[in-house]
């Protein structure tokens, strides 16, 4: 009945993709069209075992950067490259209020990064927004992604296990050094994370400064293992 109703609505009000404005057809991942979905470029191996940055060669273990300065998380993975249609989809979710995009983007995250055969996480923790920004936006996009991922991998989402202590300037306007300084000490974790495997969920990883600071807060509170999963990684 649900499928028939959707088909009838599509005849009267043809659904269009929020990224390219083309009519949705076969291969669609509502509300994305099949063409946009297929255009996403997965982050393919080989990658650094620690930070997840793609590598040109096949050596095992962490990259030179992680050897010199190990990050505060145990692993980080991203589903696809932050470019083209995926970049537009993330922008439409965050800044265009298209909350329904959290469904396909969360599925993308699960399909490429959501396998936990060994040591499954105790909880998914979305990167928190400042209260004013979340109030203005009406939602936290990382929270929506975590909820969708949690449904698929059967993991609890615990947004209150990580809080933002202060508002910070938008990271997109800052250099790598400024990004680290901007978020330093900006987060705190709840005592409930002690001895648990916690996965931080975010939409995009650029330099990794934000998720690294979140991981430090979780470590200070006693988290046993900290991972990072993001929909996209900046090339």
pTM of the model: 0.90
Which residues, 6+ apart, have CB-to-CB distance to 217 below 8 Å?
A: 162, 187, 188, 189
Tell me what the pLDDT averaged over the chain comes to. 90
Which residues, 6+ apart, have CB-to-CB distance to 3 below 8 Å?
A: none
CA–CA gap between residue 217 and residue 160 (Å, rounded): 13
Going by C-alpha positions, the residue among 46, 54, 49, 111 that lies closest to residue 81 is: 54
CA–CA gap between residue 128 and residue 168 (Å, rounded): 11
- Asked whether residue 223 carries a pLDDT value surpassing 50, the answer given is yes
For the stretch 110-156, pLDDT in tens is: 999 988 878 899 999 999 999 989 999 999 999 999 999 999 888 99
Q: What is the mean pLDDT of residues 191-216?
A: 97
- 1 falls in which pLDDT band (50, 70, 90)? low
For the stretch 70-98, pLDDT in tens is: 999 999 999 999 999 999 999 999 999 99
Domains of the chain, start order: 1-39 (no CATH), 42-233 (3.40.50)
- Asked whether residue 7 carries a pLDDT value surpassing 80, the answer given is no
CA–CA gap between residue 72 and residue 54 (Å, rounded): 19
Beta strands in the chain (DSSP E): 75-81, 123-126, 162-164, 187-189, 197-205, 225-233
């Amino acid at each position: 009945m649900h499928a028939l109703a959707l088909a009838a609505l599509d005849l009267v009000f043809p659904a269009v993709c929020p990224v390219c404005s083309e009519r949705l057809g076969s291969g669609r991942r509502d509300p994305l069209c099949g063409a946009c979905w297929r255009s996403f470029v997965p982050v393919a191996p080989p990658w650094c075992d620690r930070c997840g940055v793609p590598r040109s060669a096949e050596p095992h273990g962490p990259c030179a950067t992680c050897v010199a300065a190990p990050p505060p998380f145990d692993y980080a993975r991203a589903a696809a490259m932050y470019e083209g249609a995926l970049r537009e989809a993330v922008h439409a979710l965050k800044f265009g209020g298209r909350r329904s995009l959290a469904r396909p983007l969360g599925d993308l995250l699960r399909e490429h990064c959501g396998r936990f055969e060994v040591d499954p996480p105790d909880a998914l923790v979305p990167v928190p927004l400042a209260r004013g920004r979340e109030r203005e936006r009406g939602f936290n996009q990382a929270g929506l992604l975590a909820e969708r991922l949690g449904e698929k991998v059967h993991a609890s989402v615990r947004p209150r296990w990580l809080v933002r202590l202060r508002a910070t300037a938008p990271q997109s306007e800052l250099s790598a050094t400024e990004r680290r300084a901007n978020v330093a000490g900006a987060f705190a974790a709840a005592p409930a994370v002690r001895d648990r495997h916690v996965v931080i969920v975010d939409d995009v990883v650029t330099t990794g400064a934000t998720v690294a600071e979140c991981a430090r807060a979780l470590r200070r509170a006693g988290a046993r293992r900290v991972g990072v999963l993001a929909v996209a990684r900046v090339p």
